[in-house]
Amino acid sequence: MRSSQIAVRGQNWIQTLHGCQAWVEELVGFIRNQQEYYQRGLRVMELIQQAL
């Protein structure tokens, strides 16, 4: 996979997350054992945004 493809997919993922972030946070609140994975995802999103 080329770096340009990774960048496009990263941007798409970030846009999608922003579109449904409140809903996802509500769900994660109900499913406590998933909070760690959600936090990891937020960290990855931060790293992607820094790279773009």
Contacts of 3-6 spanning 24+ positions with Cβ under 8 A: none
- Nearest-Å Rg of the Cα atoms of the chain is 12
pLDDT of residue 6: 77
Work out the pLDDT band at 1, boundaries 50, 70, 90: low
Spatial separation of the C-alpha atoms in residues 49 and 52, rounded to whole Å? 5
In the chain the first and final C-alpha atoms are separated, in Å, by 17
Residue type, 30: F
Please report, rounded to a whole number, the percentage of residues in the chain having pLDDT higher than 70: 96
This prediction's pTM: 0.61
**15-50 per-position pLDDT tens digit:** 887 888 888 889 888 988 988 998 998 898 888 778
pLDDT of residue 52: 66
